[in-house]
Structure 1
């Protein structure tokens, strides 16, 4: 047996470096400042599509998606603004010489988003053509290399979101100009936002956890020091009284006792309250606004981080919001994001017209708050029996000894789009790196390469009854069917351990019905003792691209699993919300808005604090010719541990930390219990 000296290492790759410098006095007599950041970019890569167009991509960049317009790579830059300041202007200049890329190319264009709903096999309206006003132009596209997306407020700190385009395209000539490194400058001036003046925004939080979240979210965390003098003012002080808030109906409250006790045993301070008490004690136009105002109070005064809405919409209200894409417009898409993002009223545009979440519904005419203060999930329960099932499955998912992660990937034939057969399996392929990097095994249900069903409800049941931990579905659905299963088929589930279910299909998570039956996504969680312990699904339509199936809904799904499996986002609420915030630079404010639609519609039907334990990497350096070293890590006092290396349970090297004393295995590991011994396994990387 060889013992290793193990140290936890954190590695980060910087792509933007930021600084602020003073500028001249502005015309109003206040002091203007320039916040600068330098962005460096990898060399562009090109893929020739079947129609002869070239798709351009750059590592670390998203791609713009506007119908008929060139698809251009951009990076989302997040700059923390100084206290009491507003954006006054933007500029951008090359740090390194621009490069004219060789060749004349026709860059691919954005297409009509497609609906992931029934029926499939429909013909597509042939509106997918290049916009002649753009493609016949000799002007650069985009015209500016930097644009302001919005100013968001997280935990009381204002963050400017920018899109930075390293490549500009002259469509008529096919000429592409690449800037390897650019300096982006944001001019800010003294002033308060309309939201702050109206007292509808939260004060800057002085809590360490909030400041750490802000620091991790921006490209210029050093600017946080400017908030030092005000961090303890207002109500957002440095202490937290509660970590976790449960809101339900009084008749259901005691049924959650086991879940409350479990979170308490894990060190969380839990606060419970009832909708009856909240609606009688807090102001608001309706019960949803009263609940949001209560959550704001709980976050600001108590430091709450997780919120479980303990009921279906007949128990705990929801907020219907505005959404538009293609020919579909709604003002009532159910969205629990309203209870997570706590700045502003979400109905400031149009004089408070009762249509919530419009792109101009932020205070001052900007966008609504899209960065969360709390992580929200919903238990879609309405009876004591449903609460008991929800709690039992949640606890089972958290206390089971978890071995190597098993995943089920279910991909459906989607449609015939623009001369190609779109396949859900092509979108699910993008999840494979995260699964491989977390040493997860995947079983497939896959219609590829054909257009007929290669699997049906029987195969789906068999796959789910093998008790995978993760299920990812990419295909068509509606309120009553998902993964080719109807509600009655769920009675045939026998999986021993509950799974986490994520579907990109339409309406599977339509949780806004006041009357039975509940949506299929809800029923996976509450119908019986099998099935899912949590579901992530769309409350309305899901969206894909006929040429690149993973776009739109699939990108959110990928960000979720990347964060959950390899990004250290172990809790479902955190992984769910931060996946959305990974995509925030793509959220539209006009035209077709599929990214915005997904941002509001994807819903977590489960406990936001529930975790998925994933083996984490331990990096260590082995001195030459060394055979044994001292091992140090956080452990229980007076516990005896042994450390050994094994390859018997994984295809690659692992380290096993074993103890016969610790009763609860640490998070972010998987365990294998042998007698009275709990063995916690970690992935390793050895350096010599």
Structure 2
């Protein structure tokens, strides 16, 4: 049953500048739909995502993306409720269920509900959770606000129809210049893009720049890619691992020295892309802990090239050699959630494999197979029985415009021909590895996969089943070498010897590049929201909604768009979205132009 409570109004954002250091932003929540679901209620508001702690009530949260004026940083933020109204609920609010890795079974506890919370007079939560993140020197207040208060004992909710976000700033010495291309990124992301006019333009940046870091044995092989990109206005510099090792630049280990070199070039020359070439180039492992249905998942070693892309801070503020930590209680957070660069990795161990990847990238861009560019293929698996979870329900959100789950994304437009292979139950498998081979042989520009995977298994086949002879027409000439995006666990674990994604990338045929998880990929049981699909939707929106066609920038923009939710209530305590934010990497050339 759906009950419309309010006459529909557009949510508006009005800015009042009270002084040089205090700013107020008004939010109006005049729409609400009360929906009954499985014996519980949801309060849904346009633009708000349902957020909650596992087993506790789901509440609508609205994202904040406010640009601070140049030379200022965040001192304090508070919410003022101007007008509110109480409404009775027919049923209790739906409790948040577990986020689960795709390779796990369902949580042993089944349906999760913290009964102690549901007898409280008032469910106490923070109505604001924001911090300042930095993108190329510009401070952005990001996070979420919650317009709903829940009174479980009486079964009422109170909706703040009008709220004011009051931001107090203090002076910061530097006043950055932002290039036109990076202003374009912010223009499409911010709730107050008019503040961009206060930032000076960096008019000296007229070319894009890429840094390639590789092994001494591979260094000269990248000259082909360097020459290719120079034709398109991308200036490329190649250094090897010994250049990093012998550099005078500061750093506790190789990874920190490499990041400091990247940061220095970014600050002095305006770097845009970093390409890591070779299996032997070290990665930085990041730390994350996830509570999932009573299970605790923890790692201090999630392979994450985000470390080389997000350049503010050190990722180890407390100097304990554990990177990307956070504290649920204090708000301590070492992560930089607004990456400045687009980073990719070519996971190769031999010169032959490297030449394969370089050749495929150049051919894909210089000699596209026109007949394949408007075709994309979807492979969805049956995920779990209880609650019933089908990959098709998630993957369908990548097609067309969707405002499901509180955020809007533009997916594949109507002119893209889609080929769908969806399992509908655990006993009705409609596709296999043979199907995958046949579909690739017909030609497709992009493969989207949601299903179970591991280091040597993905899309219902194992690494040792991949034979180049089965894919000779997927060569970039007869048919294009497609891009891949998989939600599967561990399949992009490039730190393991020959993970399955690396095998797809490094051969002479099959894939030109892909986005994969180096560790677990996560989804929400029985829903159509979850960490993996959220980032995937924002990736498609970056391409088709915002017009970012470089492979690496599409992923970077998707992470910037997702950043406010990473520290939201529920995500902050469960952290599955943070885990996916860390673990998702590009295997391939980040500067490659995606044809659509």
Give the TM-score category using the shorter length: 0.7 to 0.9
Deviation at 1:488, TM superposition (A): 2.9
Secondary structure, aligned partner of 1:273 = strand
Query: Are positions 1:64 and 2:51 aligned together?
Result: yes
Cα deviation per residue 1:540-562 (whole Å; 9 max; x = unaligned)? 00111112144121111111122
- Matched with 1:187 is 168
After TM superposition, give the deviation of residue 186 of structure 1 in Å.
1.3
Pick from 479, 484, 487: which aligns with 1:504?
487
1:561 is paired with a residue whose SS is helix
1:88 CA displacement: 3.5
Change (3 A) 1:45 1:258: farther
Q: Which residue of 2 aligns with 1:108?
A: 94
Rounded to whole Å, the distance in 2 between the matches of 1:387 and 1:14 is 50
| More displaced 10-residue stretch of structure 1: 243-252 or 536-545 | 243-252
Equivalent residue for 1:485, pick from 437, 461, 485: 461
For residue 151 of structure 1, the aligned residue among 125, 132, 140 is: 132
User: Secondary structure at 2:434's aligned position in 1?
Assistant: helix
User: Within the alignment, does 1:321 sit opposite 2:300 as a pair?
Assistant: no
Alpha-carbon distance in 2 for matches of 1:436, 1:371: 25
The structural deviation recorded for 1:137 is 1.7
Over 3 Å counting, the alpha-carbon distance change for 1:219 and 1:445 in structure 2 is same
Aligned partners of 2:326 and 2:333 also within 8 Å: yes
Q: Distance in 1 between matches of 2:523 and 2:535?
A: 11
The TM-score with structure 2 as length reference comes to 0.87
Report if the CA contact (8 A) 1:545-1:551 is conserved: yes
1:226 to partner: Cα distance: 5.0
In structure 1, distance between residues paired with 2:504 and 2:307: 24
Partner SS for 1:425: helix
Partners of 2:255 and 2:245 in 1: how far apart?
A: 9
1:330 is aligned, of 286, 299, 308, to 299
What is the alpha-carbon distance in structure 2 between the residues aligned to residue 15 and residue 310 of structure 1? 46
2: distance between equivalents of 1:550 and 1:357? Answer: 24
Following TM superposition, by how much is the alpha carbon of 1:85 offset from its aligned partner in structure 2, in angstroms? 4.2
The alpha carbon displacement at 1:15 in A equals: 4.3
The 3-state SS of whatever aligns with 2:399 is: helix
User: Which sections of structure 2, spanning at least 5 residues, go unmatched?
Assistant: 1-9, 401-409
The 1:569–1:381 alpha-carbon spacing in structure 2 relative to 1, beyond 3 Å, is same
Rate the CA distance shift 1:321–1:386 in 2: closer, same or farther, 3 A.
same
Cα pair distance change 1:212/1:545, threshold 3 Å: closer
- Check 1:181–1:611 CA distance in 2 against 1; reply closer, same or farther (3 A cut): farther
The normalised TM-score by structure 1 is 0.76
Shift of 1:525: 0.4
How far did 1:165 drift?
Answer: 1.8
Instruction: Tell me how far apart the structure 2 counterparts of residues 368 and 562 of structure 1 sit (CA, whole Å).
Output: 24
2: CA distance between counterparts of 1:123 and 1:84? 49
Give me the whole-angstrom Cα distance separating, in 1, the residues matched to 2:90 and 2:76.
34
Preserved CA contact (<8 Å) 1:524 1:535:
no
SS in 1 for 2:354: helix
Q: How does 1:508-547 map to 2 (within 5 A)?
A: 508-513=491-496, 516=497, 518-526=498-506, 528-547=507-526
Q: Which residue of 2 aligns with 1:221?
A: 193
Shift of 1:292: 0.4
> Structure 1 pair 261/14, CA: closer, same or farther in 2 (3 Å)?
farther
Q: What is the match of residue 74 of structure 2?
A: 87
TM superposition shift of 1:536? 0.5
1:364-513 aligned within 5 A = 365-398=332-365, 399-403=367-371, 405-417=374-386, 420-433=387-400, 434-491=410-467, 492-494=470-472, 495=474, 496-513=479-496
Aligned to 2:4: none
SS at match of 2:485: strand
- Aligned pair in 2 of structure 1 residues 333, 43: CA closer, same or farther (>3 Å)? same
Structure 1 equivalent of residue 245 of structure 2: 279
After TM superposition, the structure 1 stretch with the greater mean CA deviation from structure 2, 497-506 or 398-407, is 398-407
Q: Is this contact kept in 2: 1:155–1:204, CA < 8 A?
A: yes
* 2:36 is equivalent to residue 48 of structure 1: yes
Are residues 101 and 18 of structure 1, via their aligned partners in 2, closer, same or farther at CA, if it must alter by over 3 Å? same
Give the structure 1 partner of residue 6 of structure 2.
none
The offset of 1:92, in angstroms, is 2.5
Tell me: CA distance 1:365–1:505, structure 2 relative to 1, closer, same or farther (3 Å).
same
Please, which of 242, 263, 267 is the counterpart of residue 233 of structure 2? 267
Mapped to 1, the partners of 2:278 and 2:16 lie a distance apart of 46
Counterpart pick for 1:609 among 585, 591, 594: 591
Q: Shift in Å at residue 470 of structure 1?
A: 1.0
**Alpha-carbon distance in 2 for matches of 1:584, 1:369:** 9
How far 1:298 sits from its partner (Å)? 1.2
The one-character-per-residue Cα deviations of 1:342-363 (angstroms, maximum 9, x if unpaired) are 01111112xx1111111269xx
Change (3 A) 1:360 1:278: farther
Q: Which has the larger radius of gyration?
A: 1
Structure 1 portions without partners, runs of 5+: 1-12, 23-31, 197-201, 615-688
What does residue 290 of structure 1 align with? 257
SS in structure 2 at match of 1:66: coil
On the 8 A contact 2:41/2:89 being kept in 1, the answer is no
Residue 172 (1) aligns with residue 148 (2): no
Quick one: distance in 1 between partners of 2:266 and 2:228?
A: 21
Q: Distance in 1 between matches of 2:340 and 2:579?
A: 21
Q: Does the 8 Å contact 1:460/1:485 carry over to 2?
A: no
Structure 1 residues 396 and 48, CA gap change in structure 2 (3 angstroms): farther
The alpha-carbon deviation at position 416 of structure 1 amounts to 2.3
Q: CA RMSD in A?
A: 2.6
Does 2:28 align with 1:37? Answer: no
1: distance between equivalents of 2:343 and 2:128?
A: 33
Q: 1:453 Cα deviation (Å)?
A: 2.8
Shift of 1:242: 5.2
State how far apart, in whole Å, the 2-side matches of 1:42 and 1:525 are: 49
Q: What SS does the corresponding residue of 2:573 show, helix, strand or coil?
A: coil
Q: Is the 8 A contact 1:33 1:188 kept in 2?
A: yes
* In structure 2, distance between residues paired with 1:254 and 1:438: 43
Distance change >3 Å, CA 412–CA 19, structure 1 → 2: same
Distance 1:443 1:109, change over 3 A: same
Partner residue, 1:631: none
Cα deviations by residue, 1:362-383 (Å, 9 ceiling, x for unpaired):
xx94442111111111111222
Aligned in 2, Cα 1:65/1:598: closer, same or farther, shift over 3 Å? farther
**Cα distance change on mapping 1:393 and 1:101 into 2, 3 Å:** farther
